[in-house]
Amino acid sequence: MKKIGIVGGIAWPSTVLYYSELCRRGEQRHLAHNLPGTPATPEFSIESLDLAKVVSYFGADGNEESWANFDAYHRDALKRLEANGADFALMASNTPHHRFESIVRGIGIPVLNLLDVVAKECVRIGVRQILLLGTAVTMKSPRFREEFAKYGIEAAGPHDEAAGTMTVDLIADLQLGKLAGAPERIMNIVKLSWSPQHTARPAVCLACTELPLAFETMKTLATFEHGGVLFINTPVIHINAVFDLAIEQ
């Protein structure tokens, strides 16, 4: 298998999910092929960033210079992964993909774009409208909307400002391991967030790697239903694509 480079720590619980699920994919592949001996698991290098520093480096859209520290912090981590022999890399977080092109500039190894693989999965399962729930940057990101639009998918954050604030507050709690009542909080956010222009209820894209942690029994599923709502689990879709690339000959 190819060596995987992970830019993690943003936040660390989702990095744990990436690591554990990629190792589990190796074990599942071993069993599925009835292979002898000890299951092979991927080799990793992980650059764990400081979440507080990442947040302090957030810029303002329309002002490229304001994002310089944010981009450089992630780019430098990718460079270290490249120097450590990673065959390809990923950023285990949705928010940095708002700045994907700038961050990966000058990186000599492939970096697997979360937005691209999630959009392709949405097309595969027939989803054409999605509600984006994530950080304030993600929910307002023109980059996210443009990437989904390339595949004929209409993406938008909550039209209700209170729902956006509730989402950001929930993410902060999930990062601290506060899971009590989280599914109910997400469903309340969803109810407030349907936009009048939607012709049908869109799928809900959990566009923050912490949000799936709210659904303890379903957090390892690429898509799942809860309360009659279809949820798109971005980290697991990303993980599946990462493993496929790791074993690709």
Domain at 153, CATH number: 3.40.50.1860
Domain of 189? 114-234
Q: Do 118 and 230 belong together in one domain?
A: yes
| 133 and 148 belong to one structural domain | yes
Q: Which bin fits 62, alpha (ψ -120 to 50), beta or left (φ > 0)?
A: left
Same domain, 108 and 167: no
In the predicted model, residues of the chain with pLDDT beneath 70 are 195-201
- pLDDT, residue 15, reads 93
Q: How many domains, the chain?
A: 2
11: preceding bond cis by omega (within 30 degrees): yes
pLDDT at 14: 87
